Structure 1
Amino acid sequence: MNKSDVIIIGAGIVGASVAYQLSQRYPGLKVTVIEKESEPAKHQTGRNSGVIHAGVYYEPGSLKATFCREGLKATIAFCQDHGLPFLQCGKLIVATNDQEEQRLHALFQRSQENQLTTRLLSQSQLRALEPNITGQSAIHVEETGITDYQAITRAMLDSVVSNGGSVAYQQEVTDLYEDETCVKVNTQHHTFQANWLINCAGLHCDRLAKIMGVNTDIKIVPFRGEYYQLPSRYNDIVKHLIYPVPDPQMPFLGVHLTRMIDGSVTVGPNAVLALAREGYSKADYSFKDALETLTFPGFWKLASTHAKSGFGEMRDSLFKKGYLARVQKYAPDIQLDDLLPYPSGVRAQAVSAQGKLIHDFVFHDTPRSLHVGNAPSPAATSAIPIGKEIISRLADRLDVA
């Protein structure tokens, strides 16, 4: 039996951040990370757009806003300390009609409340900054950047191992057990034992929390985000990241142009219901996952509330011309043949039994475990402050010298 002081389930960037900070803060602590894949960052961490968000959109004072603002600085500092790539290229949120302009001004006010370095741009100022982008006005967010979150995750886990911890790959959790003395984690190959357990399982976090007896009405509903890549001749089409003005009722930021850290440019993502928690293609299907979603009352309440936007997302996923139309609102030069295949991602969207989208971070605990019940986008940006928060919640319980 493998014995540790702390077990962390999940080797995405949140789990890696917790393990890294534990090993830094408590050098004598034996930390074990358990991951069902053969390498880290295979799911949400490795399938996002690599953006270091500044926190324009989030409710001032919320954990989401606070973590994002702190996370941007911490992510850049980590990259500088470890020689990892990043670029603060800035971001433009572009309004293309009068309704979006009204929303844009509300976003600008929120960005000021969140203490960000932003400015409103007129149509001519937008054109001067980005000649290939069309819009009535825009917000320039100076702090936003791009990086490689897989590289950050690997660097964190390498540090954990260097400090005496371990990472166990290809260990899918089959059962969890807790009593007054310890927690045990069964996988298909081994049994792991520790004093404490931290659940950072992302797409599967609610299932593991349920096994541990956490009583919550929140369930993860998976949404696939589909991306395209532009041909290399478009690598210089923009200098900044280009975002549309989002629908304030939805947690998704809309189809945007992203400069990737390798120099390429991607378009996306949309947001369509996935019929598997790891459903990265339209054909992917899991009977268990689909049944769990479709028998959850909260899903149907959510679907009825957002039926129009949901059907629109599905339509534009099936018919690429609709997807293209979203892009051409602000980048009219891009044509259908320019949308080249690119890997999709799946977002672990927490939904309540009342059909409400959970926008902020949620934590649950038992006497010997802590569960990250919701780590919404931008969790990658916020991973370091999330890890710090988790450790602070356990600090008085950790049995260390």
Structure 2
Amino acid sequence: MEKTYDIIIVGGGIVGLATALKLKQQRPKTRLLVIEKEDEVAMHQTGHNSGVIHSGLYYKPGSLKATNCIRGYQMLIDFAEQEGIPYDLCGKIVVATRPEQVPILEGLYERGHQNGLTGFKMLDLAGMREYEPHVQGIKGFFVPQTGIINYKAVCEKYAEKVRELGGEIIFGQRVTGIQQGEKFSNVITEQSYHQTKLVINCAGLYSDKVAQFTQQDPIHLRIIPFRGEYFEIKPEKQHLVKNLIYPVPDPNFPFLGVHFTRMIGGGVEAGPNAVLAFRREGYKKLDIHAKELWQTLTWPGFQKVAAKYWQTGLGEMYRSFSKAAFTKALQELIPEIKESDLVPGGAGVRAQACDRDGGLLDDFSIIERPNAINVCNAPSPAATSSLSIGQTVAELALKRF
């Protein structure tokens, strides 16, 4: 053991690093350590997402997602401006392709107003084609606030600023346990252990496991990993998409459906689907971790989700193995797209918290313990919201000092 810290943050993704940055900005004398098991920042959820700056359109007014996304959006833009990180507020259109989607679309439009968004407008097909000439649909609307950015670059800058402010970041150390005492906890890694007054758990795909280290009773959440697979559009067909095109989401399922996203570094992605991953960091179809898969399949909440959404799940799995089926879903938005226009892209794994009763947590979840703060559910729009979530967690932490 080298020294004692005031706060140790487990996880070097965007939420952990944003929390570290806000802590050091608000209380510079805080002795702070970030422990990351990989060899660099943003190796999992943050580094595999599609780089969208979300406007706050989808989230229930007053929820942690809505308030943090709307506040975090402006904080992210300001940070990118100050630090010279490229971004583009290009806007997106949300498109209803079938009559039964129109009431959901109109509800989303109203929710955007409730969340304080301005400047967006309802469109007929001719109006949509002013933004996206190749789109097909019966009704839609334009959201000017949506943008694109490289979140790995954002993370690297957060880490740089944390170090400038005297915070420490160590890599290649996996946390294997936390021993709690009255005043201090020992955070144990495979290589050593570190003493701290407070642990902040931002472990993403393993947040439930780390949370379990910080309490006596069983945790009532489990992280269920869902893989999202992308295709990229061949360069000669990228003209079919100018910016971002989204479908109307299924209101019962916490995913946004396959969509088209122009990327800040060039190129256009199509996707993602949402299939159960057979391991928590399973980026390929055949990545399997028997113990993790068993823990998923035997979780009572997952069994209830599977019973309720088995048809949706089978459809997503079919699209995962059938490029033709994936293309057909994309053709609802852009009929001209062909299977031959798509080449395999990357994949990401989303940490979706599921409670024992089969509830897929839609909102951010922060659970406080005497010696710990656990960020147990931080799915999209956590990257957009990162500085706001970081500030929220930092304020909870600093109340204790």
TM-score normalized by the length of structure 2: 0.97
From 236, 240, 265, give the equivalent of 1:233: 236
Superposition deviation, residue 298 in structure 1: 0.7
1:45 aligns with 2:46: yes
1:231 positional shift:
1.1
In structure 2, the CA distance between the partners of 1:324 and 1:375, relative to structure 1 (3 Å rule), is same
2 CA distance for matches of 1:136 and 1:90? Answer: 19
Aligned 8 A contact 1:119 1:141 in 2: yes
Q: 1:379 aligns with which of 377, 382, 388?
A: 382
1:98 alignment partner in structure 2: 99
Cα distance change on mapping 1:361 and 1:214 into 2, 3 Å: farther
Partner of 2:323: 320
- Cα-to-partner distance string for 1:96-154 (whole Å, 9 max, x where unaligned): 11111221111111111111122101111112221111111111001000101111111
Structure 2 distance, partners of 1:237, 1:169, is 42
CA distance in 2, matches of 1:361, 1:127: 35
Looking at structure 2, the residues matched to 311 and 72 of structure 1 have their Cα atoms a distance apart, in angstroms, of: 35
> Is the counterpart of residue 73 in structure 1 residue 74 in structure 2?
yes
Q: Which amino acid aligns with 1:351?
A: C
Shift of 1:70: 1.0
Deviation, structure 1 residue 214: 6.0
**Alignment partner of 1:342: what SS?**
strand
Kindly report which structure 2 residues correspond to 1:186-265, keeping only aligned pairs within 5 A, or say none.
186-213=188-215, 215=217, 216-265=219-268
Per the alignment, residue 278 of structure 2 pairs with 275
Distance in 2 between residues matched to 1:192 and 1:178, nearest whole Å: 12
> Unaligned regions of 5+ residues in structure 2, if any?
none
SS at 1:324 equivalent? helix
Asked whether 1:337 is paired with 2:340, we answer: yes
The Cα of 1:27 is off from its aligned counterpart by 1.2
Amino acid at match of 2:249: P
CA offset digits 1:291-312 (Å, max 9, x no partner): 1101111111010111111111
Q: Does 1:54 align with 2:73?
A: no
1:175 to 159, 167, 177: 177
State the one-letter code of the partner of 1:258: T
* SS class of match (1:306): helix
Q: Is the 8 A contact 1:214 1:364 kept in 2?
A: no
CA contact (8 A) 1:21 1:388 kept: yes
Counterpart residue identity of residue 162, structure 2: V
CA contact (8 A) 2:36 2:169 kept: yes
* Letter of the 1:77 counterpart: D
Equivalent-residue separation in structure 2 for 1:263 and 1:199 (angstroms): 34
Structure 1 pair 214/259, CA: closer, same or farther in 2 (3 Å)? farther
CA deviation digits over 1:312-356, x for unaligned, max 9?
111111111111111000111111122111110000000010011
The sequence identity of aligned pairs, in percent, is 44
Question: What is the deviation of 1:236?
Answer: 3.3
Counterpart for residue 369 of structure 2: 366
Tell me if the contact between 2:58 and 2:112 (Cα under 8 Å) persists in the aligned partners. Answer: yes
In structure 1, distance between residues paired with 2:274 and 2:104? 21
C-alpha distance in 2 between matches for 1:356 and 1:397: 31
Aligned to 2:392: 389
Secondary structure of 1:236 counterpart: helix
Q: Deviations over 1:12-36 (max 9, x none)?
A: 0000000111111111112110000
Q: Secondary structure at the match of 2:346?
A: coil
Matched, 1:348 2:351: yes
Identify unmatched segments of 5+ residues in structure 1: none
Instruction: Return the alpha-carbon distance in structure 1 between the equivalents of residues 151 and 386 of structure 2.
Output: 10
Does the CA-based 8 Å contact 1:228-1:339 persist in structure 2? yes
| Partner secondary structure for residue 277 of structure 1 | coil
Residue from 141, 144, 149 that aligns with 1:142: 144
Q: Hey, what's the Cα distance between the residues in 1 that align with 2:321 and 2:37?
A: 31
The letter for the 2-side match of 1:261 is I
The one-letter code matched in structure 2 to 1:297 is P
Contact 1:235 1:263 in 2 (8 A): no
Check the 8 A contact 2:214/2:371 in 1, yes or no: no
Deviations 1:351-378 (A, max 9, x none): 0100111001111122111000111211
Separation in structure 2 between the aligned mates of residue 194 and residue 237 of structure 1, nearest angstrom: 53
- Could you say which residue in structure 2 is the equivalent of 1:287? 290
Matched position secondary structure for 2:253: coil
Name the TM-score, length of structure 1 as normaliser: 0.97
Helix, strand or coil at the partner of 1:131: coil
